[in-house]
Amino acid sequence: MIAINWILALPNQCQQIMSVNEKIVTDLVNNNVSFITTVPCKQLAGVIDGIDKCDDIFHIPSNKEDEGMGLCAGAYMGGKRAAIIMQNTAIGVTINTLATLIQYYHIPLPMLISYRGEIGEPVACQVEMAVHTKALLAQLNIPTYHFHHPDDVEEFDAILKYCFMSKKPVAILTDASFWKGA
């Protein structure tokens, strides 16, 4: 009872964030994604927390995103559906791993990516990787989706199904507007 009252007391915007995080975790579980590695980002804090608390998902934080992709590749070969949650700056870290491991061996890998450096970004340096993010993903022929409005999360379930069907890495870029419901 106390918990419910507390949620109801939160401002509207905050409820939206919670529902986006809940939807992402629920869709991952419903698609049997049971092994997730994360490298944190401020924007991703809520969803990482949700994954950590979810009993159906093994959460293994990694120190660098290429290491995380190695963990995911191993888990996939072990029969588990795996995913990575990371910041868009990690595209710079993982290009070789994406090309020579994930793509070369045909390993499905949903990549939930915080798209820093977009509208609403307070840190100027983040823009420097933001301007390269979509171009790099396009150069790698990685199917890429951009969540800008909170409602865009409705497509997440279908994107996960598409990723495992195609056995490809798939990028879901999630910007500040998406996370803030702005």
Partner 1 sequence: MIRSEVLKSLIPVISDQLVVCNIGLPSQELHLLDDQPSNFYMLGTMGLASSIGLGLALAQKQKVIAIDGDGSVLTNFGTLPTIANNVADNFILLIIDNGSYGSTGDQPTYAGRKTSLAAVASACGCEHVVECQAEQAAAAVQAALDADEMTIIVCKCESGNIKVPVIEMDPVVIRDRFMKQVQARNS
Least CB distance to partner 1 at residue 40 (A): 14
Nearer to partner 1, 110 or 117 (CB): 110
**Binding residues vs partner 1 (CB under 8 A):** 35, 58, 60-64, 66-80, 82, 96-97, 99-101, 104-107
Q: Cβ 73 to partner 1, closest distance in Å?
A: 5
CB 38, min distance to partner 1, A: 12
Count CB-CB contacts under 10 A for residue 17.
17
Q: How far is the CB of 74 from partner 1 (least distance, A)?
A: 3
**Long-range Cβ contacts of 67-70 (<8 Å, 24+ apart):** 68/37, 68/38, 68/39, 69/37, 69/94, 69/97, 69/98, 69/101, 69/102, 69/109, 70/97, 70/101
- Closer to partner 1 by CB, 108 or 150: give it: 108
Pick 77 or 123: Cβ nearer partner 1: 77
